[in-house]
């Protein structure tokens, strides 16, 4: 009985903890892609923070918490870059940040899916992201990708709600270079 108690005492702390990582901003990106009048475009956010705790062998203990400064958006087109922070799109005067936090992780076939809640423009909706995690030396790379419907969050309403002009599906993607804490 003492051996069992000792084994449990040694095993349980490790089972409940995922590894904590620090994002290396210089080699990490957080962006999206969409279409405008049928032509694809990409965008990135220059300011964001991410708290990453991840263990592919213990998904129950893993967690992502990401906050994005929406005014930092850049697409390479000055008209679009000027419009996105405005009231018709992100409305950064009222809603300066977007926030994603995981509610859990699951395996689907050979893939890992991070389920979470995205809050954007004051609207919170479930979002699922595919996760690819690759350990490297004292850190790892973490890639996430998913799709969301911009109109679900009120992004581009009114004159901009026509999804034949601005695509309704937005592909979200991130590449994070991580260092172990």
Which of 18, 19, 63, 30 lies closest to 176 in space, CA to CA? Answer: 30
Pairing of the two strands 48-54 and 111-120? unpaired
Specify whether domain 18-180 bears CATH 2.40.128.110: yes
Express as a percent the part of the chain with pLDDT over 70.
91
d(CA 134, CA 154): 35
The confidence score (pLDDT) of residue 10 equals 39
SS3 108: strand
Q: What is the pLDDT of residue 16?
A: 53
Please give the pLDDT value at position 108. 95
Structure tokens at 51: 């708290």
- Residues 22, 180: Cα–Cα separation, whole Å: 6
Lowest mean pLDDT among 14-18, 48-52, 84-88, 142-146: 14-18
Cα dist from 110 to 90, 115, 117, whole Å: 35, 16, 23
Mean of per-residue pLDDT scores for the chain: 92
Q: What is the pTM of this model?
A: 0.89
Q: How far is CA 157 from CA 32, 124, 166, in A?
A: 18, 17, 10
Q: Give domain limits for the chain.
A: 18-180
Q: What is the pLDDT of residues 153-169, one digit of tens each?
A: 999 988 899 999 999 99
- What pLDDT shows up at residue 60? 97
Percentage of the chain lying above the pLDDT 90 cut = 87
Mean pLDDT over residues 93-97, rounded?
Answer: 98
Smallest CA-to-CA distance from 140 within 32, 18, 46 is with 18
Query: 131: buried, middle or exposed (CB in 10 Å: 19+, 13-18, 0-12)?
Result: buried
């Amino acid at each position: 009985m003492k051996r069992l108690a000792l084994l449990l005492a040694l095993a349980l702390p490790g089972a409940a903890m995922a590894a904590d990582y620090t994002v290396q901003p210089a080699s990490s990106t957080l962006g999206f892609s969409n279409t405008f009048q049928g032509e694809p475009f990409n965008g990135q956010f220059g300011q964001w923070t991410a708290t990453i705790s991840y263990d592919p062998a213990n998904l129950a203990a893993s967690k992502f918490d990401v906050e994005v400064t929406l005014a930092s958006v850049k697409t390479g087109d000055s008209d679009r870059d000027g419009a996105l922070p405005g009231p018709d799109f992100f409305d950064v005067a009222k809603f300066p940040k977007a926030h994603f936090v995981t509610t859990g992780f699951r395996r689907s076939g050979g893939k890992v899916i991070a389920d979470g809640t995205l809050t954007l423009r004051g609207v919170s909706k479930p979002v699922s992201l595919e996760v690819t995690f690759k350990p490297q030396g004292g850190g790892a790379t973490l890639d996430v990708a998913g799709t969301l419907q911009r109109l679900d969050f009120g992004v581009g309403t009114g004159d901009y709600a026509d999804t034949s002009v601005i695509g309704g599906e937005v592909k979200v993607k991130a590449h994070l270079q991580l260092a172990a804490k």
